[in-house]
Amino acid sequence: MQQCLEYICKEFEKVKDYLHAPTPTKELIINNLFANFMHCFSEYPFEKKRYPKEFLESANLYNAGDAVMLKRFEDIGMRYLLLSDFYDYVKITHLYRKV
Protein backbone atom coordinates (compact mmCIF):
# COMPACT_ATOMS: atom_id res chain seq x y z
CA MET A 1 0.00 0.00 0.00
CA GLN A 2 1.38 3.41 -0.95
CA GLN A 3 2.52 5.71 1.84
CA CYS A 4 -0.07 8.31 0.89
CA LEU A 5 -2.87 5.77 1.44
CA GLU A 6 -1.35 4.61 4.72
CA TYR A 7 -1.20 8.25 5.83
CA ILE A 8 -4.87 8.70 4.93
CA CYS A 9 -5.82 5.68 7.03
CA LYS A 10 -3.71 6.79 9.99
CA GLU A 11 -5.16 10.29 9.93
CA PHE A 12 -8.70 9.02 9.33
CA GLU A 13 -8.55 7.23 12.67
CA LYS A 14 -8.55 10.68 14.29
CA VAL A 15 -11.96 11.55 12.78
CA LYS A 16 -13.80 8.22 12.72
CA ASP A 17 -16.49 9.72 14.93
CA TYR A 18 -17.15 12.70 12.64
CA LEU A 19 -20.81 11.85 11.95
CA HIS A 20 -21.56 11.73 15.68
CA ALA A 21 -19.25 14.51 16.83
CA PRO A 22 -18.45 16.91 13.98
CA THR A 23 -16.11 19.82 14.58
CA PRO A 24 -14.50 22.38 12.27
CA THR A 25 -11.11 20.77 12.93
CA LYS A 26 -12.38 17.33 11.90
CA GLU A 27 -14.03 18.85 8.83
CA LEU A 28 -10.69 20.34 7.79
CA ILE A 29 -8.99 16.96 8.27
CA ILE A 30 -11.65 15.22 6.19
CA ASN A 31 -11.34 17.75 3.38
CA ASN A 32 -7.55 17.37 3.35
CA LEU A 33 -7.72 13.57 3.45
CA PHE A 34 -10.26 13.54 0.63
CA ALA A 35 -8.00 15.71 -1.54
CA ASN A 36 -5.06 13.45 -0.72
CA PHE A 37 -7.13 10.37 -1.57
CA MET A 38 -8.07 11.73 -4.98
CA HIS A 39 -4.50 12.81 -5.66
CA CYS A 40 -3.02 9.50 -4.51
CA PHE A 41 -5.24 7.48 -6.82
CA SER A 42 -4.27 9.64 -9.78
CA GLU A 43 -0.57 9.60 -8.86
CA TYR A 44 -0.11 5.83 -8.50
CA PRO A 45 -2.02 4.03 -11.27
CA PHE A 46 -0.46 0.63 -10.49
CA GLU A 47 -1.89 0.83 -6.98
CA LYS A 48 -5.39 0.93 -8.40
CA LYS A 49 -5.42 -2.78 -9.20
CA ARG A 50 -5.74 -3.62 -5.50
CA TYR A 51 -8.99 -1.79 -4.91
CA PRO A 52 -12.64 -2.24 -5.91
CA LYS A 53 -13.78 -0.47 -9.05
CA GLU A 54 -16.06 1.82 -7.02
CA PHE A 55 -13.09 3.62 -5.49
CA LEU A 56 -11.36 3.82 -8.83
CA GLU A 57 -14.39 5.07 -10.71
CA SER A 58 -15.10 7.73 -8.10
CA ALA A 59 -11.50 8.94 -8.17
CA ASN A 60 -11.24 8.84 -11.97
CA LEU A 61 -14.49 10.70 -12.53
CA TYR A 62 -13.77 13.25 -9.81
CA ASN A 63 -10.26 13.90 -11.09
CA ALA A 64 -11.60 14.21 -14.64
CA GLY A 65 -13.99 16.95 -13.50
CA ASP A 66 -17.21 14.96 -13.94
CA ALA A 67 -20.01 17.36 -12.95
CA VAL A 68 -22.10 14.72 -11.16
CA MET A 69 -19.15 13.44 -9.15
CA LEU A 70 -17.95 16.94 -8.28
CA LYS A 71 -21.46 17.81 -7.07
CA ARG A 72 -21.72 14.60 -5.04
CA PHE A 73 -18.47 15.25 -3.23
CA GLU A 74 -19.27 18.87 -2.42
CA ASP A 75 -21.03 17.33 0.56
CA ILE A 76 -18.57 16.64 3.38
CA GLY A 77 -20.73 13.73 4.50
CA MET A 78 -20.10 12.02 1.16
CA ARG A 79 -16.39 12.74 1.46
CA TYR A 80 -16.39 11.21 4.92
CA LEU A 81 -18.31 8.14 3.74
CA LEU A 82 -15.88 7.51 0.89
CA LEU A 83 -12.95 7.72 3.29
CA SER A 84 -14.74 5.53 5.80
CA ASP A 85 -15.51 2.90 3.15
CA PHE A 86 -11.89 2.93 2.00
CA TYR A 87 -10.62 2.66 5.58
CA ASP A 88 -12.96 -0.26 6.31
CA TYR A 89 -11.94 -2.01 3.09
CA VAL A 90 -8.19 -1.83 3.75
CA LYS A 91 -8.69 -2.95 7.35
CA ILE A 92 -10.84 -5.94 6.35
CA THR A 93 -8.42 -7.00 3.60
CA HIS A 94 -5.41 -6.45 5.88
CA LEU A 95 -3.83 -3.96 3.47
CA TYR A 96 -3.60 -1.62 6.45
CA ARG A 97 -2.88 -2.46 10.04
CA LYS A 98 -3.43 0.08 12.76
CA VAL A 99 -0.09 1.15 14.14
Give pLDDT, residue 38. Answer: 93
DSSP calls for 73-94: TTSHHHHHHHHHHHHHHHHHTT
The tens digit of pLDDT for each residue in 23-77 reads: 999 999 999 999 999 998 877 666 667 788 888 889 889 999 999 999 999 999 9
Residue with more model confidence, 48 or 8: 8
In a domain, 99, yes or no: no
Give the DSSP letter of residue 67: H
In the chain, the number of structural domains is 1
pLDDT-based confidence at residue 1 (cuts at 50, 70, 90): low
In a domain, 80, yes or no: yes
Q: By residue range, what is the domain housing residue 74?
A: 1-93
DSSP calls for 32-64: HHHHHHHHHHHH-GGGGGGS-HHHHHHHHHHHT
